[in-house]
Amino acid sequence: MGAGDVIGAGSLSGFHARSIADREGFWGELAALIDWQAPFERVLDYSRPPFTRWFVGGRTNLCHNAVDRHLAARRDQPALIYVSTETDDERVYSFGELHREVMRMAAIMRELGVRRGDRVLIYMPMIPEATFAMLACARIGAIHSVVFGGFASHSLASRIDDASPVLVVSADAGSRAGKVVPYKPLLDAAIDLARNRPANVLMVDRGLVPFERVAARDRDYAQLRERHLDAEVPVEWLESNEISYTLYTSGTTGVPKGVQRDVGGYAVALAASMKYIFCGNAGETYFSTSDIGWVVGHSYIVYGPLIAGMGTIMYEGTPLRPDAGILWKLVEKYRVTVMFSAPTAIRVLKKQDPSWLTRYDLSSLRTLFLAGEPLDEPTARWIGEALGKPIVDNYWQTETGWPILTVAHGVEKTPTRLGSPGMPMYGYDVRLLHEQTGEEVGTNEKGVVAIMPPLPPGCMQTVWGDDERFVKTYFSTIPGRLAYSTFDWGIRDEDGYYFILGRTDDVINVAGHRLGTREIEESLSSHPAVAECAVVGVADALKGQVAMAFVVLKDPSRAAADDARMALEGELMATVDKQLGAVARPSRVHFVTLLPKTRSGKVLRRSIQAICEARDPGDLTTIEDPGALEQLRRAVGLQA
């Protein structure tokens, strides 16, 4: 039986039921969607819960499946379509050309001492060389760790320390909305801060900004590439459970977690999602507006579309430059069939002249997928009507690598429901559990969105270098059960559609990007004027949430005068910019003389958040000093 004939296809509920009742049979069949150099001996090894091993003993390679596998049938077809509206650059790499570039990059990495299992940190803007670097790592069995270019030196240093890379691949600069953003000074500062310094830094010089080279460490990509133009670097066949990459994500502590993925499970999960969820076909074009620094970029700019034999657009630019029609212009030009974006991008477009959406021929486009943050009904309705195309919301996390909740139109044409990402995907045994009892909640009752292990292929294997943290963070918060917590609240209606209600922890979601409030607090606290602070996520019409900071100064008189207060607010924002990056900058910094705390000293973040959103702060019987709330109300401009 071929992978297309999996029993139960035709009904999502049947498909899903089988994926849970017969995991080995189900995934064993889907494994035929990718190439294996050696077959697996076992589909699933779940002998050490909650650790899960998929396709044990099978040998494969992500780069082979993304590139080499397609050479016979589509060597000259577009694979990587690079468009930068920042530098006015447009380059199309066929599968054959991509193969060449990846082998050159792989040869350079080898020359710089990168071996199987070594880490390579990729700190790059959206340029083709970033994709070459990811695929080159996959090819030679090195573990890549892409750090989003919007992060600055402290964030970068903590990731360098955790990954201890032998090589960092970077570039002189990125560019955002026409403004050059130098990367090299941030990288140099990060390496200075780090304890585990890389031996080599491979620099792609885009010619955007001059930079200093550190002798004996910094190497020039263009020069090395010349030396390896004809390089032939065969793929390393990896056991399915070897590590393909780590990707850092924010949590409730200041230390980011390295989400670690395997090789075979990830490849199968992505291939299956391209078939059943995204319905993308080989030879077509996929366009995700995400960034390679995020999980969507890993799964649906680089690996997913390429594994499916699709051309993939890598776009450096904003949705508004040179004008608000740019995304649709690209859809027309490259005959995009599947598009993936985030609600924030659509909300940005909603403020523009709607005629931009009808100027281009969008007949190739079948579906627009949106993910990363809650998709509000007005935005979903607006874009759906304006495009005249189906809009599909999908809910997932860095940890899962592919959608948990959505609809799978490759299985069944289940209708979508506004405000709901959809239903559990095959492989995910999703439950809504009571936070205190661990029992399943009833229809239309709020519970924690949890997944009963084993987690399906493609999900994280563990936290890099810290199995204990993996178990403790994700599998130990629901009483009485070994269940994976997403840390999101959800409800399910009578028809089985889920609705996501927000986070259960202190993580905020700004424009589809998850940020730990603790990281921002730590950064603010490093400023010498700050005694203590609290950061909360506050609802924002455009970005979903923004970070709002409340700061207690060592010397409150420093914020007494208006101009001094504004200057200090600017300084604190600059501190966050410098350490973490502009992505984490609070939208406002308010000065107060005390924070609302419980008598045991715990900051009442939920109450702060409620006040900022003009909601009822809830049960305040444990508050130490109610005066703190009055100050907060005044600070955010509400009556006490």
Which residues make up the interface to ligand AMP (CB under 6 A)?
249, 295, 371-375, 393-398, 421, 486, 488, 500, 503, 509, 513-514
CB atoms within 10 A of CB 637: 8
What proportions of the chain, in percent to the nearest 5, are helix, strand and coil?
Answer: 35, 25, 40
Location of structure tokens 């600070």: 635
Between 93 and 475, name the residue whose CB sits nearer to ligand AMP: 475
Nearer to ligand AMP (CB atom), residue 170 or residue 394 = 394
Strands (E), 274-333: 285-288, 311-316
Nearer residue to ligand AMP within complex by CB, 36 or 498: 498
Range 519-557 burial, b when 16+ CB lie within 10 A, else e: bbbbbbeebebbebbbbbbbebeebbbbbbbbbbbeeee
Q: Which one, 141 or 453, has the nearer CB to ligand AMP?
A: 453
CB burial of residue 235 (10 Å; 0-12, 13-18, 19+): buried
| Residue 234: strand, helix, or coil | coil
Minimum distance from CB of 206 to ligand AMP (Å)? 27
* Sequence-separated (6 or more) residues with CB below 8 Å from residue 517: 506, 507, 508, 534, 535, 536, 537, 547, 605
Provide the minimum distance between the beta carbon of 448 and ligand AMP in the complex, in angstroms, as a whole number.
Answer: 11
Structure tokens at 515: 């940020």
Residue 383: CB minimum distance to ligand AMP, A: 14
For residues 240 and 172, give the distance between their C-alpha atoms in angstroms, rounded to a whole number: 35
In whole angstroms, give the CA distance from residue 249 to residue 373: 15
- Least distance to ligand AMP, CB of residue 93, Å: 27
Q: For residue 551, what are its two tokens?
A: 């700061």
The length of the chain in residues reads 640
Q: Helix, strand or coil for residue 150? A: coil
**CB of residue 416 vs ligand AMP: minimum separation in angstroms?**
12
Q: In the bound complex, what is the minimum distance in angstroms from residue 166's beta carbon to ligand AMP? A: 27
Residue entry with tokens 């009578």:
494
Task: Using the CB atoms, write b or e for 236-256: b if 16+ within 10 Å.
Answer: bbbbbbbbbbbbbbbbeebbb
The one-letter code for the residue type at 605 is: R
Give whichever of 460 and 572 is closer to ligand AMP, judged by the CB atom.
460
Closer to ligand AMP by CB, 532 or 540: give it: 540
Cα 438 to Cα 105, 119, 448, distances in angstroms: 49, 38, 9
Smallest distance from ligand AMP to CB 430, Å = 13
Dihedral sign for Cα 39, 42, 48, 51, please.
positive
Q: How far is the CB of 320 from ligand AMP (least distance, A)?
A: 23
Other Cβ atoms less than 10 A from the Cβ of 454: the count is 20
Closest contact distance (angstroms) between CB of 240 and ligand AMP is 24
- CB 375 to ligand AMP: min, Å: 6
Nearer CB in complex with ligand AMP: 27/340: 340
CB of 421 vs ligand AMP, minimal distance in Å? 4
> Shortest gap between Cβ of 499 and ligand AMP (angstroms)?
9
Distance CA 268, CA 262 (A): 11
Q: How far apart are CA 98 and CA 38, in angstroms?
A: 25
Residue 108 or 296: the one with the smaller Cβ distance to ligand AMP is 296
Phi, psi of 533 (to 5 degrees): -155, 165
Given the complex with ligand AMP, which of 488 and 521 has the nearer CB atom? 488
The nearest distance, CB 500 to ligand AMP, in angstroms, is: 4
Nearer to ligand AMP, 236 or 393 (CB): 393
Q: Which neighbouring-strand residues pair with 45?
A: 53
Q: Which residue, 345 or 559, has its beta carbon nearer to ligand AMP?
A: 345
**Cβ atoms < 10 Å from Cβ of 178:** 11
Judged by CB, which is closer to ligand AMP: 185, or 419? 419
Report the residue number, 285 or 299, with the smaller CB distance to ligand AMP.
Answer: 299
